Amino acid sequence: MEKYRLFLDGTWQDALRTRDVISPSTEEAVATVPVAGSIDLDRALAAAVRERNQWAKTSALQRAEILRRTAEILTRKSSQTAQQMVREQGKTLSEASGELERACETFQWNARHAEELCKPDYIDDSRTVLYHPAGIVAAFTPWNYPAVLTARKLAPALAAGCTVILKAAEEAPAAAVATVAALHEAGVPRGVIGLVFGDPPMISAHLLGSTDVRMITFTGSTRVGKELAALAARNLQRCVLELGGHAPVLVFEDADIAPAVRAICEYKFEYAGQSCNAPSRIFVQRSRYQDFMQQLAEVAAEIRVGPAEDADVRMGPMIGPQGPSRMQRLTEDALAKGASLLLGGRPLDRKGYFWPPTVLTNVPSSATMMSEEPFGPILALVPFDTLDEAIELANLTSYGLASYVLTRSEKTQRDVVERLSGGTVSINVFKGVAPDVPLTGTDDSGYGHEGGKEGFRAFQNLKLINRIGK
């Protein structure tokens, strides 16, 4: 079994307590992860305080070179890390490998743009804007995409000159450990980065209770995001919160159904639907509803579910027992309120946390799954007649993260883009977020930007300089 450790003040250290990392495919322990105590957190904070000024004074070019080397090291060791992710998370090997590749691209992009984004902006002869590091950052990453989300938080923060304490997910520690190890090998100075695991409420309260921490960046549930925002308000700590989603897909009658169905299934059932950007509510124009429903059932039924270690498996398990329980609750609620079961709907009779691709049709708006983020391999299908009806149905949740539109009509595209709620609208494409563009949510999906130049600027303080004469 892998034995993970904390990374404090430039060294790997044990904690007084550990907890098991459970494989969702076998329900057996595959690793142990340390549980940080208050002494460990204080040591991480002291190191970050000690190094913040020196790291901020390090040139952007030097910081960029460290990030570039980090990407090289991560790439070189990605095969081993991907195998660990498969065991811990239940991701397929191709999913884990693809995520690590995106993480490396994130480090590379921030390395390429660090010098440019740290330079002063000369507005005119008398006014200049300077960009300084925001200070010590507390970063919180989830278990579903631990490699790419760790990179999206660490790379811009370090490139901007911030010191960071990373609280990573206990369920899937391999990617965070590999990333911090790569940064250490690449030459990040002692104390600039800390890595802790443990009890999430205790760690967040301890870190955000320190006035030395000036910013938090968090990806996770809306409930926890609100709790962290309330903690951060006490010390006026800046927040970037990427929270839940409940993504609608609007399928208009002029869409090409066959490729649309395959694209939806590929994107939806990646990592068993455990993604805040994954489609979850499919609204189909009534004239194509029956055709779409039939093709979706056929394509989704082809997906082989099983242990992620098996080469021919296309969808692995959910992360823990709470996942299948949630799928069963949402399914039973929808059926009780008038929906029909097209596919799936029952847990697999085997060891592990498996739930098959599930499709429910004619799901009423009163069903819980139409308002609660499902975060699993379940889809709701609903017909619509007019564009106005489609927009109203799509906007009928408190979330505003991702949405998708399938139509060839440019007029329909313009109308929908203007009226759909949320931070991202994708037209005729399902694609993960690239490192060069900002991701943001609205309403219960959070606020602040992550990724791109806007995401880089989140880790900087702006200082306006006014001068007269020379």
What is d(CA 114, CA 155) in angstroms, rounded to the nearest whole number?
Answer: 10
pLDDT of residue 470: 62
SS3 at position 178: helix
Q: What's the CATH code, domain 247-427? A: 3.40.309.10
Structural domain 2-243+445-466, CATH architecture? 3-Layer(aba) Sandwich (3.40)
pLDDT of residue 387: 96
pLDDT of residue 431: 81
Indicate whether this model's pTM tops 0.85: yes
Q: Mind listing the pLDDT tens digit of every residue in the chain (470 residues)?
A: 899 999 999 999 999 999 999 999 999 999 999 999 999 999 999 999 999 999 999 999 999 999 999 999 999 999 999 999 999 999 999 999 999 999 999 999 999 999 999 999 999 989 999 999 999 999 999 999 999 999 999 999 999 999 999 999 999 999 999 999 999 999 999 999 999 999 999 999 999 999 999 999 999 999 999 999 999 999 999 999 999 999 999 999 999 999 999 999 999 999 999 999 999 999 999 999 999 999 999 999 999 999 999 989 999 999 999 999 999 999 999 999 999 999 999 999 999 999 999 999 999 999 999 999 999 999 999 999 999 999 999 999 999 999 999 999 999 999 999 999 989 999 999 987 889 999 999 999 999 999 999 999 999 999 999 998 66
| CA dihedral sign, ordered 262, 267, 268, 273 | positive
Of the candidates 51, 242, 270, 373, the residue annotated as catalytic is 242
pLDDT of residue 320: 95
Q: Name the amino acid, one letter, at 401.
A: L
User: CB neighbours (10 Å) of residue 312?
Assistant: 7
User: Where does CATH 3.40.605.10 sit in the chain?
Assistant: 2-243+445-466
pLDDT of residue 319: 96
pLDDT of residue 190: 97
User: Where does CATH 3.40.309.10 sit in the chain?
Assistant: 247-427
What is d(CA 169, CA 153) in angstroms, rounded to the nearest whole number?
Answer: 14
pLDDT of residue 432: 79
Q: Is 265 considered catalytic here? A: no
DSSP 80-139: HHHHHHHHHH---HHHHHHHHHHHHHHHHHHHHHHHHHHSPEEEETTEEEEEEE--EEEE
Phi, psi of 449 (to 5 degrees): -110, 145
Distances (CA, A) of 115 to 64, 65, 73, 438, 457: 7, 10, 22, 19, 13
Of the candidates 276, 372, 373, 450, the residue annotated as catalytic is 276
